[in-house]
């Protein structure tokens, strides 16, 4: 019996039915559409001005410095002399993920990094989760590194003019007694914002100079630190067992955050498909070699039990080895410049990820507005910088470092899955770099990330869970309804 209230069937009606919720959550953005939209923002376009050298310097600038200059003092008490092994484990974890990043960056050369890769392979909901993790990775990383910058600035001021910034103005509330605001951390974030507002090419030039300074500083530390090297400091190599090595490795993974920064510049690279994979791999090799070398010299020059949570550990070692404050002061000066480059490049990556998410409609479109003269997302840069600056001024470093690590590891795990999925769904797509032994190496990368996430403390997982819950609420309230993927691209109409 026919339903009298139903509308009559029209055999010529071809209007598609609205997809269900599950289908909308799993909808993928075609790679061709991602690439076609590359560079285009609200009211303007990003400018392609970066070559292989600048892209490599961006990755090194975003990576080199965070672990060695800032977190080493926290990792040594967890692993003892085996902290060098912790760096190797963290670097190996990063390497597996870097291979996957290199393949996807050459295949999908856009600004969104792993967010865009997940959108093309695993669907919108997973892409949102990945992008939300990247916001935690980049945003909190900027704040954490800015806190370390303030420590070295104090070391520099003390060694040159005998003055230090009062605790009330150089420490976050709860970090030490009397801490009110970390003013130096806020200042360095705002300085980085000024550079970024000038344009990507100008920022890349400033970053290159700072990267050269930081590499020279670490080579100098190795030369002087080796003078105080004592083999006896390695007598009990693994005093806290493999659990300590693993825990230190999870913390030190924070020091590898940033090698993927080049992938966020996909829409500002001159030859993205060729240069992005090279920049990612080259930067990771250089950074890992320097990390392991510096860590080995540092532990050899100072008994591991004498390390503390001091963020300016390398400057202290140089002063102790030489008996002169000049060398520690010189290293502190180099570190002030070096760590500033990390703030600059990681902040750059954060703005470009938000740019891609805004262009897709998942976050407010103000983050996708491009200034026609500078070719930069100015409003995006100002908003992100102010947020990160406040975070740096108000939250202690240790909490920031671990929160950054868990967000990064989760995003990296998804990238290892994405490269396998794209191989299966689009096997004939041109690739300028291919992960060897796939899917074995991506699978190892995924497992290493999950293992290191499990090594982080319970409080970090609680913070991560709350962050993800907030992100999902935001997506279903805002992004799910405003996603532009529901609207066909101009070429598809």
Domains in the chain, start-ordered, CATH in brackets?
Answer: 48-395 (1.20.1740.10)
Mean per-residue pLDDT, 18-31: 77
pLDDT above 80 for 23: no
Give the C-alpha distances (Å, rounded to integers) separating 26 from 345, 426, 443: 32, 17, 22
| pTM confidence score | 0.80
Residues with Cβ < 8 Å from 235, sequence gap 6 or more?
none
Mean per-residue pLDDT, 311-334: 80
Report the DSSP beta bridge partners of residue 173. 176
Mean per-residue pLDDT, 221-248: 88
pLDDT above 50 for 3: no
The residue ranking higher by pLDDT, 188 or 138, is: 188
Element (H, E) at 338: helix 325-359
pLDDT above 50 for 195: yes
Check residue 45 and report its DSSP letter.
E
If pLDDT is split at 50, 70 and 90, which confidence band does 399 have? Answer: low
Vertex 203, ends 199 and 206: CA angle to 5°?
A: 150
Report the pLDDT value the prediction gives residue 11, as an integer from 0 to 100. 44
Radius of gyration over every alpha carbon of the chain, rounded to an integer in angstroms: 23
pLDDT above 70 for 81: yes
If pLDDT is split at 50, 70 and 90, which confidence band does 478 have? Answer: very high
Strand, helix or coil at 412? helix
Closest CA to 66 of 406, 334, 340, 309: 340
Report the pLDDT value the prediction gives residue 312, as an integer from 0 to 100. 64
Q: SS3 helix, strand, coil % of the chain, rounded to 5?
A: 75, 0, 25
If pLDDT is split at 50, 70 and 90, which confidence band does 66 have? Answer: low
Percent of the chain having pLDDT more than 90? 18
């Amino acid at each position: 019996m026919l339903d009298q209230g139903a509308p009559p069937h029209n055999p010529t009606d071809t209007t598609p039915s609205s997809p269900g919720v599950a289908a909308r959550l799993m909808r993928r953005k075609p790679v061709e559409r991602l690439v076609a939209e590359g560079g285009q923002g609200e009211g303007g376009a990003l400018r392609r001005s970066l070559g292989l050298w600048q892209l490599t310097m961006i990755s090194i600038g975003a990576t080199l410095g965070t672990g060695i200059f800032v977190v080493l003092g926290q990792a040594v008490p967890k692993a003892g002399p085996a902290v060098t092994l912790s760096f190797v484990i963290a670097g190996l974890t990063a390497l597996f993920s870097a291979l996957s990043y290199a393949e996807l960056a050459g295949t999908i050369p856009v600004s969104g990094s792993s967010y865009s890769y997940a959108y093309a392979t695993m669907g919108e909901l997973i892409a949102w989760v990945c992008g939300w993790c990247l916001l935690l990775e980049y945003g909190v990383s900027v704040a954490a590194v800015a806190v370390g910058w303030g420590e070295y600035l104090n070391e520099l001021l003390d060694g040159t003019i005998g003055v230090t910034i009062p605790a009330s103005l150089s420490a976050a509330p709860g970090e030490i007694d009397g801490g009110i605001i970390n003013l130096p951390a806020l200042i360095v974030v705002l300085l980085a914002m000024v550079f970024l507002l000038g344009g990507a090419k100008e920022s890349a030039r400033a970053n290159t100079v700072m990267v050269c300074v930081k590499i020279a500083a670490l080579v100098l530390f190795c030369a002087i630190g080796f003078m105080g090297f004592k083999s006896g400091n390695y007598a009990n190599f693994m005093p806290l067992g493999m659990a300590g090595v693993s825990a230190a490795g999870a913390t030190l993974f924070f020091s590898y955050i940033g090698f993927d920064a080049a992938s966020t510049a996909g829409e500002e690279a001159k030859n993205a498909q060729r240069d992005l994979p090279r920049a990612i791999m080259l930067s990771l090799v250089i950074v890992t070699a320097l990390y392991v070398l510096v860590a080995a010299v540092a532990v050899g020059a100072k008994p591991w039990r004498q390390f503390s949570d001091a963020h300016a550990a390398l400057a202290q070692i140089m002063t102790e080895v030489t008996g002169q404050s000049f060398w520690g002061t010189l290293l502190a000066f180099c570190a002030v410049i070096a760590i500033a480059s990390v703030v600059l490049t990681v902040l750059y990556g954060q703005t470009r990820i938000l740019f891609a998410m805004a262009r897709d409609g998942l976050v407010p479109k103000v983050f996708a507005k491009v200034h026609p003269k500078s070719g930069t997302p100015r409003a995006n840069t100002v908003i992100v910088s102010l947020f990160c600056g406040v975070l740096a001024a108000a939250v202690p470093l240790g909490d920031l470092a671990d929160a950054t690590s868990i967000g990064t590891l989760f995003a990296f795990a998804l990238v290892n899955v994405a490269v396998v999925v794209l191989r299966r769904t689009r096997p004939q797509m041109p690739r300028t770099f291919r992960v060897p032994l796939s899917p074995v190496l991506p699978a190892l990368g995924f497992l290493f990330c999950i293992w290191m996430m499990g090594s982080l403390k319970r409080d970090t997982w609680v913070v991560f869970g709350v962050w993800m819950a907030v992100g999902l609420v935001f997506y279903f309230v805002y992004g799910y309804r405003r996603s532009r993927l529901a609207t066909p691209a101009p070429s598809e109409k």
